[in-house]
């Protein structure tokens, strides 16, 4: 890694199939140890069950109210200032239970790569179809 400032383009936010909006803040091979993305979940929306293989994730809640489900823990409500720790390969999803956008940072170590993402709802449907 070298010293640098990364300029973020707010217009680069995109809706992803997981069910939320993502704005990549930092995710580069120049800094392979960590990635940071801003996630935004609309009121009433729930992200899909998923897990990250070989990658730990932290949610840093910035705005709104949510209910997070991770692993076998019971659902827990989260609010601004809360940090959710999610170990590698741990199933997870989050629901916006408030009336405004739920916004949080998703901090991954090592950095997020699409190959580490596993959609567990698709896997469940495939299993049901056989």
In a domain, 1, yes or no: no
Cα 31 from Cα 126, distance rounded (Å): 36
pLDDT of 1 reads 81
Q: The domain that contains 53 carries what CATH number?
A: 2.60.120.10
In a domain, 8, yes or no: no
Please list the residues that pair with 23 across neighbouring strands.
38
The answer for residues whose C-beta is within 8 angstroms of residue 14's C-beta and 6 or more apart is: 21, 22, 23
In a domain, 9, yes or no: no
Mean pLDDT of the chain: 93
126 pLDDT higher than 80: no
Q: Would you place residue 122 in the very low, low, confident or very high pLDDT band (cuts 50, 70, 90)?
A: confident
| Closest alpha carbon to 55 in 37, 76, 78 | 37
What does the pLDDT look like over 29-39, one tens digit per residue?
999 999 999 99
In a domain, 75, yes or no: yes
Please list the residues that pair with 104 across neighbouring strands.
39, 61
pLDDT of 124 reads 52
What does the pLDDT look like over 40-63, one tens digit per residue?
999 999 999 999 999 999 999 999
In a domain, 31, yes or no: yes
In a domain, 2, yes or no: no
In a domain, 5, yes or no: no
- Counting the structural domains of the chain, the total is 1
Residue 86 domain boundaries: 14-124
* Beta-sheet pairing, 14-16 with 92-96: unpaired
Cα 53 from Cα 28, distance rounded (Å): 18
């Amino acid at each position: 890694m070298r010293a640098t400032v990364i300029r973020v383009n707010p217009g680069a936010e995109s809706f992803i199939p997981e069910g939320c909006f993502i704005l990549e803040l930092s995710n580069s091979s120049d800094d392979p140890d960590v990635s940071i993305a801003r996630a935004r979940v609309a009121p009433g929306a729930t992200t899909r069950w998923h897990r990250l293989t070989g990658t730990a994730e932290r949610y840093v809640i910035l705005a709104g109210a949510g209910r997070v489900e991770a692993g076998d823990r019971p659902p827990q409500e989260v609010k601004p200032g809360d940090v959710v720790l999610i170990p590698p390969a741990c199933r997870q999803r989050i629901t916006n239970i408030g009336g405004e956008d739920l916004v949080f940072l998703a901090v991954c170590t090592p950095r997020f790569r699409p190959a580490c993402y596993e959609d567990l709802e698709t896997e469940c449907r495939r299993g049901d179809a056989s």
